[in-house]
Structure 1
Amino acid sequence: MADKKMAQLTLPEAAIASYLDELLHTATTTAEQEEVVAVQAEPVLSEPVQPATRSQPAASVACEEPAVITPTPEPVIEKVVPPDSYEPPTRPDWSAKPFECLIFTVAGLQLAVPLVLLGAIHRIEEEIRSLPGSPRWYMGIRPGSDLNLKVVDSAEWIMAGRVPADARDNYRFIIRLDNSDWGLACDNVGQSFTLDPEQVRWRTARSQRPWLAGTVIDHMCALIDVRAMANLLVRAEQEHHLDLN
């Protein structure tokens, strides 16, 4: 039935639905994997020592000294972290108590972001042109009186390889990430609402898609870690030696 429903979708809709399924799968399987690891890590009890049989002489049993077994220390394995890797804390500091959240749409994909880390929301009133030689996910500069905002093509950054051809044509707003000079272009911005931490399925390992903090259960959408997203963009700019100013 699911395959029939997917077949009825247009190509862009199918790509978005497939990517959303992948995001939700990434965000919700971490706990299951950790449960498996925890079970495997439980100590295995050794088999009980069998008592001496009646056929053995009592004297010989009494004279035997117990063998002294010196435990072999386990080797210390250091985790080697590549210099270009980045994995944020498992739980953002703003997730300790209920927080205001905002849902926005990118190429048909719903994403949620905590309002406490939104710098501002700007309307796109004129075309933002990409600089020659810049990566596909970089749209250009939105000049402002106090800040020139670097605008990210959110679909290219988040859904690389599955972006609808007309994604940029539908961008109407730019969401500034915290106090950084980066902003995410998006189609629409929804109403804000209060989200309890228990309503989120948090990821506890984020070596892949570090910007994905978890899943908002009731809305079945991905929750963005704003600081992790901003840090990744800064690292991308530095590591690729991009001059985006």
Structure 2
Amino acid sequence: MSELVASQKVMRNYLNALLTEEQEPEVSVAAEVKKQQLNQLLATVQPEKPAVVMKVAAPAPVKTEPVRAKVIPETIVAKAIPVVSQPVSQPVSQPAAKVAAPALTTPVITTPPPKAPAAAAVKEYRSGRFQALFFSVAGLKVALPLKELGGIHKITTLNTLPGKPAWYKGVMLYREQKINVVNTAMWVMPEKYDQNLAETLNYQYVIMLGKSSWGLACESLVNTVALEQDDVKWRAIEGKRPWLAGLIKQHMCALLDVDAMIALLAQGAGSSD
């Protein structure tokens, strides 16, 4: 380190000497002596000059640094491009397939419901053995399935209402319930109903139809009979008299379709409508 400092001082003095030489053209003897001394000092320091030159020229390899700077941006751009392109394409294709799926299932669901009421139309008494209640009206036997019997009441005072059909006998009160009583003989066989028949009728009971407020006036209760399916000639074709479910062969009496009869009475329709 001492040699390096000494050499630096010699170089500084040398440069100062060069500057002074340009300002003072006339050199004295003392100056020449100093010059000789400087030359001698420089001669002694010359072996170390290569080391100083090598250290100064060493920064030259720094020129390769721009090459490294170019390599860095190239790798960054190459990695960024594939990462952005892949996730964008995948989610777009998947929801497109899910949206089209429900359109195929909707028409299949709409078709079955209309077929359900057909099964509900089958009466419970149309399978196996069933009980039927027999009652008489003007010498005619009439029966209805016992499971569709709403009750039996003793006939009491009837209150007529204006604007009702001729077969509407009146309203009867039973425990705060209003019962619409039907003149059964006039409704079932209007073609045979006349003044003579009307005078001979003696209604004693009211046969309630299911859970409705409609009741059929009857003269007497016959009995309850267990019937098989083959005991009835069932109605096969729909048409007139939908209230007639069938004909009981052995007893030669009509079996009522209670639901159909309630619907007709509610509409104010007769048996032949």
TM superposition score category, shorter chain reference: 0.5 to 0.7
SS at match of 2:261: helix
Which of 113, 116, 136 is 1:105 aligned to? Answer: 136
RMSD: 1.9
Matched, 1:135 2:165: yes
Whole-angstrom CA distance in 1 between matches of 2:178 and 2:233? 35
Please list, as runs of the form range in 1=range in 2, the aligned pairs for 1:183-202 lying within 5 A after superposition: 183-202=215-234
What displacement does 1:91 show? 5.7
Residue 253 of structure 2 is aligned to residue 221 of structure 1: yes
Higher relative contact order (CA 8 A, sep 6+): 1
Structure 2 length normalisation: TM-score? Answer: 0.51
**Matches of 1:210 and 1:96 in 2, distance apart?**
20
State whether structure 2 residue 172 is matched by structure 1 residue 161: no
In the TM superposition, residue 135 of structure 1 has moved relative to its aligned partner by: 1.1
The answer to whether the Cα contact below 8 Å between 1:107 and 1:163 also exists between their aligned partners in 2 is no
Contact 1:149 1:183 in 2 (8 A): yes
* AA aligned opposite 1:118: L
Partner of 1:176: 208
The structure carrying a bigger helix percent of its residues is: 2
Q: Which amino acid aligns with 1:151?
A: V
In the TM superposition, residue 172 of structure 1 has moved relative to its aligned partner by 0.7
Report % sequence identity.
40
Deviation string 1:70-95 (CA, Å, 9 cap, x unpaired) is xxxxxxxxxxxxxxxxxxx9863322
Deviation, 1:147, is 1.8
Give, as a single letter, the amino acid of the residue that structure 2 aligns with 1:228. A
CA drift at 1:100: 0.7
In structure 2, the residue corresponding to 1:193 is in which secondary structure?
strand
* Greater alpha carbon shift after TM alignment, 157-166 vs 104-113: 157-166
Q: Give the structure-1-normalised TM-score.
A: 0.56
Structure 2 match to 1:123: 154
User: How far apart, in 2, do the equivalents of 1:194 and 1:208 lie?
Assistant: 28
- Cα separation, 2, equivalents of 1:100 and 1:177: 15
The equivalent residue for 2:265 is 233
Q: Kindly tell me: are residues 183 and 235 of structure 1, through their superposed partners in 2, closer, same or farther at Cα, counting changes over 3 Å?
A: same
Q: CA deviation at 1:236?
A: 2.2
> Structure 1 stretches of 5 or more lacking a match?
1-88, 238-245
Larger Cα Rg: Structure 1 or Structure 2? 2
Aligned residues: 148
Cα distance in 2 for partners of 1:202, 1:191 equals: 21
Rounded Cα–Cα distance in structure 2 between residues aligned with 1:161 and 1:193: 29
Do the aligned partners of residues 147 and 218 (structure 1) sit closer, same or farther apart at CA in structure 2, a change above 3 Å counting?
same
Distance in 2 (CA, whole Å) between partners of 1:130 and 1:159 is 21
Partner of 1:62: none
